[in-house]
Amino acid sequence: MQPLQLLAWLATGESVSGAALAARAGVTRAAIWKQVEILRGRGVPIEAHAATGYRLPWPVQMLDAGVIRAALPSALARSLGAIEVHGELDSTSSELQRRSGASDLSIVLAESQTAGRGRRGRSWLSPPGMNIYLSCLKRFESGIAGLSGLSLAIGVIVLRALDQLGVAGAGLKWPNDVLVATGESAGAKLGGILVELSGEYQGPCAAVVGIGLNLRLTPALRLQTGQPACDLASLTGGVPPDRNRVAAVLITALAEGLRQFERDGFAAFTADYAQHDLLRDESLQLTGTLGVIHGTGAGIDARGALQVRLPDGSLRSIDSADVTVRRA
């Protein structure tokens, strides 16, 4: 029996005895205990009570490709590539990159990732059953040269999806971190976006868009992320939206938004970006290959570069991927 099978059996949030689980799996209760420990080690907070058995502190909706596809607008469902749901992958983005022949707008999701990748070589914590890890392949004829602003546009697309899901209170930190906008968790990370490009500079090319969204994080997982982190549950009164619905809404927003980007470029996203820009008028300290720069956030330009007002009143454009931005 695999740990994810056990997670599926506990998914309702009801208590199930070790004996019942062992009988269902055809293994010993000690074997069940071992799988519980594996899941706990990966961040799933399974509770154990001597009288009633094992339970999750909340119900979990296991991802289901059929349910996700059925929740898409029907025209979109017909025009998309494959939607795959995997129990465990190294990384949904790596999986799509291994599929050189995958059709446009193919989607890969996983319940968990063993080597989830973040920006700048960082890892992305990917416990099973709690969050969303999704990658989408988009092919472009225009070439990589025409894709400036794409990673910021994806941030706008994620915010559009959150709006559709009724999740208010998120914003964007340049270039595309999805953060809590206000309140005591302001600045904590709700999600991350990794866009990886391949192909020709002025010919056919492809983007693998990877999105990680925190739906539920336990206090232990928040500590493990190594940076202030938050989850959608905190913005929605303790119960996050259904995971399959989140996936369907995100896929719909991605497919529509990526086609919009292909047609109209980043210009179609700048107004929405400005609305969610958490750095505008903030006092900033930027560090990177340029050294340390102090200034005030002044929006983005037409290519998606960060505009910073320097103390002498001049504007500086920042587009280096090596720059980190901190509120000073």
State the residues that interact with ligand BTN by CB under 6 A: 91-93, 113, 116-119, 122, 124, 133-135, 177, 192-194, 210-212
Instruction: Decide whether 155 or 241 has the Cβ nearer to ligand BTN.
Output: 155
245 — phi, psi (to 5°)? -70, -40
| Least Å from the CB of residue 92 to ligand BTN | 4
Residue whose C-alpha is closest to residue 49's, from 9, 17, 5:
17
| Least Å from the CB of residue 95 to ligand BTN | 8
Instruction: Decide whether 36 or 211 has the Cβ nearer to ligand BTN.
Output: 211
Burial class (CB in 10 A: 0-12, 13-18, 19+), 248: buried
| Least Å from the CB of residue 264 to ligand BTN | 25
Instruction: Decide whether 151 or 307 has the Cβ nearer to ligand BTN.
Output: 151
Instruction: Decide whether 240 or 295 has the Cβ nearer to ligand BTN.
Output: 240
How far apart (Å, rounded) are the C-alpha atoms in residues 31 and 209? 38
Per 3-state DSSP, what percentage of the chain is helix, strand, and coil (rounded to 5)?
Answer: 35, 30, 40
| Least Å from the CB of residue 176 to ligand BTN | 8
Instruction: Decide whether 35 or 135 has the Cβ nearer to ligand BTN.
Output: 135
**Among this protein's residues, is 189 annotated catalytic?**
yes
Tokens of 225: 């992320």
| Least Å from the CB of residue 322 to ligand BTN | 14
How far apart (Å, rounded) are the C-alpha atoms in residues 317 and 306? 6
**Given the residues 24, 55, 99, 119, the one annotated as active site:** 119
Could you tell me if 248 and 257 are in contact, meaning their C-beta atoms sit under 8 angstroms apart?
A: no
**Given the residues 42, 69, 160, 189, the one annotated as active site:** 189
Pairing of strands 291-300, 306-309: antiparallel
State the helix-helix crossing angle for 18-25 and 29-41, rounded to 10 degrees: 100
Residue whose C-alpha is closest to residue 305's, from 315, 320, 290:
320
**Among this protein's residues, is 303 annotated catalytic?**
no
Could you tell me if 80 and 137 are in contact, meaning their C-beta atoms sit under 8 angstroms apart?
A: no
Kindly list the catalytic residues.
Answer: 119, 189, 326
